[in-house]
Amino acid sequence: MRFIHISDTHIGYRAYNASDPKTGRNQREVDIERAFRQAVDRILDICPDFVLHSGDLFHTVRPSNRAIGFAMEEISRITGAGIPFMVIAGNHSAPKMRETGSVFRIISKIEGVRAFYREKYETAEIGDVLIHALPHVHGGERFKDELVKMLPNRDYGYNIAMLHSGVEGLRAFRYSTGEANEDLMGMHEIGDGFDYIAFGHYHEFTGLSERAYYSGATERLSFNDVGQKKGFIEVIIEPFTVKFHELRIRPMLDLEPINAKGKSAPQIMEEIERRMDTDTDGAIVRLLIREISPTEYRNLDIRRIRAMSAGALHFEIDTRMSSGTAADISMVTLQSMARDFEDFIRRTSIEGLEKERIIEMGREYLSRAAED
């Protein structure tokens, strides 16, 4: 038996101000779609027995018509080839209020698709395989109540679990901030005896045990993903084999940080030039400058920096002010404000509005202010 484990495709994700030259649409939204289409192409080449999507098919609770249409077209390519497609709702696509409704009611209308989104444990059969599905559940106790129900059924030849959750002990979830209302569990809380456990939520391909994996995301969504390969997993149960299929995606670079303590603006500019002496064409790039004083920040040649980074899809300088700097609101860096604004929006629960669009607009306004 051979199947595909894919997750965190985040269709509809938007970021930055760059537009795709062919369509005029947000470039990152197009990148996300290209990665998913590339994955579907490979899945069709592999021709597995079924596909498991372990959450966050969409980036928002209310994806655009364009995002819904794209997802339906690509999933229909899979099911049209006679390959069943199972998907659970992740934390990004699970509405808090029932009256919001779920986009998965639409997705489940595709023949060959089974969507699990009702915040409870459910099962589905594929021949001699029993799929145990637990979508995102709002409220930690409710999630744990459903999790204990997830037990293998020995009446079936194979038992496979899929869920969207953080795992205690994994470095990324050491300090849970509650961002996006993530579920959190320990590996000891899931029943023994599953032939495979398909996890979603963590964006890096990671093995949790011999038969439990995060497939990771299909594209990079933040600088936390720098250096990570993105793709999906091909699983063969007998003999048990896991193969990671890497996708070709846009490069993301985190340049070597600069310690600006005691340095003048011209000296910092020299450091920036050395960091920029690399191939940034088409890439998403960040440069961290630590211990910079407000005065030296104001004296940086912003126009020169923009010229050096012109080939990048997106370039940002993340500045950290020197400790002990006198509080002067006029000297607060706009880049720091952009970072704080983005962190605030991501932590805040917002219904009916697209967070990425709000973040994009905020960055644009702050960028205009910097130029002025």
Give the containing element (helix H, strand E) for 268: helix 265-275
Cα–Cα dist 92/84, whole Å: 23
User: Is pLDDT above 70 for 200?
Assistant: yes
State mean pLDDT over 330-348. 58
pLDDT at 287 over 90: yes
- Asked if residue 200 lies in contact with residue 214, where contact means CB atoms within 8 angstroms, the answer is yes
71-75, 121-125, 169-173, 242-246: least confidently modelled range: 169-173
Could you identify the residue written with the tokens 């690509």?
A: 74
Lowest mean pLDDT among 118-122, 184-188, 248-252: 184-188
- Specify whether 223 is located in the same domain as 98: yes
The residue with greater pLDDT, 191 or 56, is 56
Number of domains in the chain: 2
Q: Are residues 290 and 334 in the same domain?
A: yes
One domain for residues 56 and 93: yes
Please check whether residues 215 and 294 belong to one and the same domain: no
Q: Which residues, listed in sequence order, are joined to residue 242 by a DSSP beta bridge?
A: 235
pLDDT value at 176 more than 50: no
Tell me: do 184 and 328 sit in the same domain.
no
Q: What is the rounded average pLDDT of the residues 134-160?
A: 93
Strands 129-134 and 122-126: antiparallel
Q: Could you tell me if 218 and 335 lie in one domain?
A: no
Between the ranges 173-187, 280-294, 321-335, 350-364, where is the mean pLDDT highest?
280-294
164-168, 219-223, 266-270, 368-372, range with the lowest pLDDT: 368-372
Q: What is the pTM of this model?
A: 0.84
Rounded mean pLDDT, 340-354 = 66
pLDDT category at 94 given cuts 50, 70, 90 is confident
pLDDT (mean) for 101-107: 90
Mean pLDDT score across all residues of the chain: 88
For residue 336, the enclosing domain spans 252-371
Q: What pLDDT was estimated at residue 330?
A: 33
Q: 112 CB contacts (<8 Å, ≥6 apart)?
A: 78, 79, 80, 82, 83, 84, 85
Task: Judge residue 325's burial from the number of C-beta atoms within 10 Å of its C-beta, 0-12 exposed, 13-18 middle, 19 or more buried.
Answer: middle
* Model pLDDT, residue 332: 38
Q: How far is CA 14 from CA 26, 129, 212, 367, in A?
A: 6, 37, 30, 17
Going by the DSSP 8-state scheme, the letter that residue 322 receives in this structure is P
Same domain, 52 and 79: yes
- If you ran DSSP here, which 8-state letter would residue 1 be given? -
Q: Do 293 and 227 reside in the same domain of the chain?
A: no
pLDDT digits 0-9 by tens, 30-52:
999 999 999 999 999 999 999 99
- Residue 357 pLDDT greater than 90, yes or no: no
| 166 and 103 together in one domain | yes
Let me know whether 157 and 138 are in one domain.
yes
CA distance linking residue 116 with residue 150, whole number of Å: 14
> Do 105 and 205 reside in the same domain of the chain?
yes
